Amino acid sequence: MDATARNGAGTGRRRQDEVYRAGVYGRRPRVPTVHTALAAAARRRLTDRALGYVAGGAGGEATVRADRAAFDRWQVVPRVLRDVSSRDTSVELFGRRLPAPLLLGPVGALELVHREADLAVARAAAATGVPMVFSNQASVPLETTAAAMGDAPRWMQLYWSTSDELVESLLHRAERAGCEAVVVTLDTTMLGWRPRDLDLGHLPFALGKGIAQYTSDPVFRRLVEERVATAAPQGRQPLPTPAAVRALVGMAKAWPGSLADNLRSPLPRAAVETFLAIYSRPSITWDDLAWLRSRTSLPLVLKGVLHPDDARRAVDAGVDGLVVSTHGGRQVDRSIGALDALPDVVAAVGDRVPVLLDSGVRSGADVLVATALGARACLLGRSYVYGLGLAGEPGVRQVVEDVVGEFDLTLGLTGHTAVDQLTPEVLRRA
Ligand SMILES: Cc1cc2nc3c(=O)[nH]c(=O)nc-3n(C[C@H](O)[C@H](O)[C@H](O)COP(=O)(O)O)c2cc1C
């Protein structure tokens, strides 16, 4: 047996080697490797508005805490003297083998934390092979982001607009851009009550941030032009703040035509108003799901499912996957933590469709606990956003490599060599 082939090399060992070898020359990782330090560094770096939007949750943020507390209630019971020298962290999802049970979840308005926004995340995702889920509220049109990824896997997240035509247009654009699944987020039929943003009077979308999927869409543009054509002339308005003016210039640049003409035209402001009027449809019910199902052949994944009855009903309705999620605690205060909801959802759907989990995932050990409880994969949210804010693309890449590396080592150190060996028997209630 070749000694180096049996030394446990894998993503975890490689990541450690890289860090410790660089340390000999005085180099440290670009961003902290543990989430609490990462979040603290981001708190120092980000603007108040960016931090409020990213870190904030609904109401008193009890759900943000519940998402973490749910992980703290589980402990892993390691096993010894098993050959763990070679490990396989990969999982299969919708016909694709992924390097680890991990995806980058959809996060909107990334331009608040870094000017390269979705593009930096896309490059980091492509470099690591971890799929990126494009947000419906992205800062960069999905075609541009997809073009930065080569053949690397990407999914599209959709909010259910009041315009069926817009929903169809976004679906078709996602298909053409090579997205391999559509994630429909159901927990945001209205924006949650978010005191940090309310106290700053700050909604990125009202400033034209995070609406690039819309302003790049032909159906949306037509809706804006119709709104302008039928709108009554506006009376005198108070002057917008300098930040709002800067945002308006950004939007005017995104619109076809010259910047000067666009700034004079009512289009950018009307785009924001049109977005606010149509972005979500609180009236959707189970009956609408069939319509969506019939509009795309891509796997359909419902995000934001927490009740086992909803999970069962979703699978009966023909969806292909679920994401158990509290939206990072941003929608309902005092909700059940996502990981607390996971076992019942998994029991309800059995192995009929894959169940994914996000909200509160901070480390490779967290991913191991969630997969042991039946999640096929986890989605990262704030962790990679902080990496982006601190160091752009390399920051995101490091966060992903750290989580995957720790997952690989924890898998081996608990006596396992493959993800499908992880079952609830690996865990104990704390
Ligand atoms: C700043 C921010 C923006 C988000 N934007 C979206 C979005 O556009 N669409 C969506 O489905 N989820 C969105 N989410 C929710 C994430 O996809 C994910 O559910 C959540 O971040 C997971 O929790 P975590 O941040 O605690 O890991 C957003 C989350 C954050 C923090």
Of 87, 104, 17, the closest CA to residue 408 belongs to 87
Delimit the domains of the chain by residue range: 9-197+281-429, 205-231+243-279
How close is the Cα of 135 to the center of ligand 1, in Å? 9
Catalytic (active-site) positions? 327
Q: Give pLDDT, residue 3.
A: 46
pTM, two decimals, is: 0.95
Q: For residue 326, which atom of ligand 1 is closest to its CA?
A: 19
Q: For residue 210, which atom of ligand 1 is closest to its CA?
A: 8
The answer to whether the CB of 382 is under 6 A from ligand 1 is: yes
pLDDT beneath 50: ranges in the chain: 1-5
The answer to whether the CB of 209 is under 6 A from ligand 1 is: no
- Between the CA of residue 341 and those of 213, 305, 308, 374, 425, what are the distances in Å? 32, 9, 8, 11, 18
How close is the Cα of 6 to the center of ligand 1, in Å? 39
The answer to whether the CB of 135 is under 6 A from ligand 1 is: yes
Residue whose CA is at the smallest distance from ligand 1 atom 3? 107
Full 3-state SS string of the chain = CCCHHHCCCCHHHHHHHHHHHHHHCCCCCCCCCCHHHHHHHHHHHCCHHHHHHHHCCCCCCHHHHHHHHHHHCEEECCCCCCCCCCCECCEEECCEEECCCEEECCCCCHHHCCCCHHHHHHHHHHHHCCCEEECCCCCCCHHHHHHCCCCCCEEEEECCCCCHHHHHHHHHHHHHCCCCCEEEECCCCCCCCCHHHHHHCCCHHHHCCCCHHHHCCHHHHHHHHHHHHHCCCCCCCCCCCHHHHHHHHHHHHHCCCCHHHHHHCCHHHHHHHHHHHHCCCCCCCHHHHHHHHHHCCCCEEEECCCCHHHHHHHHHCCCCEEEECCCCCCCCCCCCCHHHHHHHHHHHHCCCCCEEECCCCCCHHHHHHHHHCCCCEEEECHHHHHHHHHHHHHHHHHHHHHHHHHHHHHHHHCCCCEHHHCCHHHEEEC
How close is the Cα of 333 to the center of ligand 1, in Å? 15
Report the DSSP beta bridge partners of residue 301.
183, 321
Residue whose CA is at the smallest distance from ligand 1 atom 8? 108
Q: Give pLDDT, residue 329.
A: 98
Class of domain 9-197+281-429: alpha beta
Residues annotated within a binding site for glyoxylate? 53, 159, 194, 327, 330
The answer to whether the CB of 156 is under 6 A from ligand 1 is: no
How close is the Cα of 356 to the center of ligand 1, in Å? 14
Residue given tokens 């205060």 in the structure block = 333
The answer to whether the CB of 320 is under 6 A from ligand 1 is: no
The answer to whether the CB of 359 is under 6 A from ligand 1 is: yes
